[in-house]
Amino acid sequence: MNLKILITALSLSSFFAYSQTNLKGTVKDEKGNPLIGATVVLNPTKGTITDGDGTYTITVLEDGKYTIKTNFTGLKPQNKTVSVVGEKEITVDFVLLGSNQELNEVVITSNRMRETLDEVPSSVAVLSLKQIENLSQTSNSVADVLMEIPGMALSSNQTSSTGQTLRGRNMLILIDGIPQSTPLRSGGRDVNTIDPSSLERVEVIKGATAIYGNGADGGIVNYITKKTSTAKRFQSITSVGSEGSLVGIENSVGSKITQTISGKLDKLGYVASGSFRQIGVYKDANGEVISPNYGLGETSQYTLFGKVNYDINKKQQIELMYNYFSSNQDSKYTPQVGVYGESPTIGVLGEQVGVDQGNKYNHNAQLTYKYDEIFGKTDFSLNLYMQDFKTIYGYSDTFYDPNLGYDGGQSLIVSSKRGARFNLSSPYSFGKIEGNILYGIDILNDKTSQDLVDGRKWTPDMKMTNFAPYAQVKTLYKDFVLKAGIRFENINIDIPNYTTITTYKLGETTPNGGGIAINGGTLDYNATTFNAGLRYNKWNFFKPFVSFSQSFSIADLGRTLRSATENTVSNINSKSVIANNYEVGFNSHIGKINLSGAYFISTSDLGSTYSETASGAFTILRQPEKVYGYELSLDTKLTRNVIFGTSVSYTEGKLDSKDSGNYDTYMGGDRIPPVKIVSFLSYNWDHKFDARLSVIYSGDRDRFEAPYSYGRGPVNDFTTVNFSTNYHVTPSTKLSLGIRNLLNKDYYPLISQWNARSSNYVKANGAQFNVSLTVNL
């Protein structure tokens, strides 16, 4: 008790009495133009990113000598040393010169610690704030922003993210580390759960990983929200815009407004934003209205985001984040079903049956507490988070029930997560060997169910408790980086007694399935996953790495339970999937050329591939899987102002249908995308005017014989072109224009082709414009 009183007294005294110094300044190029989004790191732990006018502020809480390091893509990094001796404020400005050796300076945080790419022995992709802003000008959703990332499949142009896999496997979507995916009932709505205006950056860790728990067989995508620190007490960014079709503009015009404020008040930093987007009718290249079913057209989107942090004392900081996103469709059109492979499904004027579909709400909140050097040199962090999510699907006569008087119905998924992460980070050194040990415990409670809007239960209410201790070791020796980790998954899922939904063929009165009473129970999943990687950084022209990593996932338990035929949960085949990812890769910097590549193989003894039965129901194939492929990326400065880049992504996957060791059956298009080639040409003039032209080629993939079923439809190739440009009318006012599908290509998205269903045979958008005005004060 006396010890607790002493600790409390010391904490209170440090809360009310300590001095601090603000290190502030600007980061500009050699012509004096401010650099927005430049990384500024205070060695060894603190860091920030410059604001809209190229300014930054970092607070230090004790006297001493510090090294400040700054970098910006395309320019040479710069270091400066500053001594702090009681000053309230010190100004340190940077002027960065031209360079092409910046990729290794990119800092990532999704591995739960701040690392540069040279410290990561695996494939990583990072989208900066500037890249997100450019890509958003030619996108319909945040899913489109991800499309140019090597290894990422193209988006669906729908609310659904089905088929948008990462290296042929499902990915775990995070917002500031908070899981958005619903692995207990994977509904394919996790990618479009945030507005790009709320983002500071996006980090993609490729390959199987268990660092954030269940569901990352292909990797993780971490949406990192806007930062709070700024050099001003108050800063305002207002953006207004309009978008619409360039082919038949009638009823297609929409609008968007976003307001962001941020600032730094002594020890308190804050940022808040809100946006509203009204989207008009979507039309194809011929001006025909696209089917509204699961569409993004005619939707209203709302976003509310806020974050505050407070320096309690010189070693402690607390931060609170909240993000709300909602996207609801209210369409005046109804689908007119075409013929698969012959004519598209379009939208015709008519009243939609049922309630509006879309992501009704997605609430995320997180409280983060950090205590540097809580004992010795060990840092401590605590994350408490929550997510509440609800999405509603379209009306379907699949749920026809004459006995209950239902002509059909709509399903919805509701998920609620509550979690806590306890993390400790301890540095170590033995002579020339140094490194870091990251260890802790993750706790998660997940409640998920899929019901019908009319109240019928489609899946039982599944309740999962996940307890997972873990440890990750990083060792640096000369030019070698060695990382290894282990995670112990302990998952318990409670399932109540339930009865599967009774199904009928439309117009018939005799059930053709379902209606089975299932005795509930408890499912326990325990697994130990490993990872290890080695990187060698001696040569700038060739930095190779090798890695092995594992992931743990439950293969869509809800889908298995809702079509169960056994009378007890314990008899249902619901075993988890352990994916093994083997990878070799490299990064190279040769003159003005940046080159990177990787080859990977991902295997699992149990699969999670969907298969459609003769009745139209889906089952999950538990056959062994092997997914393999490669990625190559290149970018180079052609002139001082012009950059060219290109990337190639190839993925293939097969099943061992007889469990004989012979992978003899190709996997469907819902998992395996065709080859993807992305090329771009960008021009920048004095950071006042920039333009970007990108070309996306998607190849063909025809692996199956007719008649085609779900996932097995042949995919034909297509090429699309996007264009975006920005002009700074004044230093604080920017005019932006984006044109999606510049050449008005008439084509079908991947999901329309491999889905092999007439009702889903929907064309892509024709040429679209997006114009906006942004004022930064």
Q: Which residues of the chain have pLDDT under 50?
A: 1-18, 100-104
Query: 219-776 has which fold?
Result: Maltoporin; Chain A (2.40.170)
pLDDT in tens, 718-740: 999 999 999 999 888 999 999 99
Q: Residue 360 has what pLDDT?
A: 94
E-assigned strands of 279-315?
299-311
Domain residue spans of the chain: 18-95, 219-776
Structure tokens at 356: 């509006």
Q: Residue 43 has what pLDDT?
A: 59
Write down the CATH number for the domain with range 18-95: 2.60.40.10
Distances (CA, A) of 718 to 154, 289, 552, 749, 759: 12, 21, 35, 9, 21
Helical (H) or strand (E) element with 392: strand 378-392
Report residue 80: phi and psi, to 5°. -140, 145
pLDDT in tens, 65-76: 888 888 776 677
**Would you give the DSSP letter of residue 431?**
T
Do you find a cis peptide bond into 674, omega within 30 degrees of 0?
no
Q: Residue 7 has what pLDDT?
A: 41
Conformational region of residue 446, where left means phi above 0, alpha means psi within -120 to 50, and beta covers everything else: beta
pTM: 0.87
CA-based end-to-end distance of the chain:
52
Structure tokens at 535: 């990187």
Asked if 663 and 631 touch (Cβ cutoff 8 Å), the reply is no
Q: Residue 561 has what pLDDT?
A: 87
How far is residue 345's CA from residue 748's CA, in Å, rounded to a whole number? 11
Q: Residue 565 has what pLDDT?
A: 81
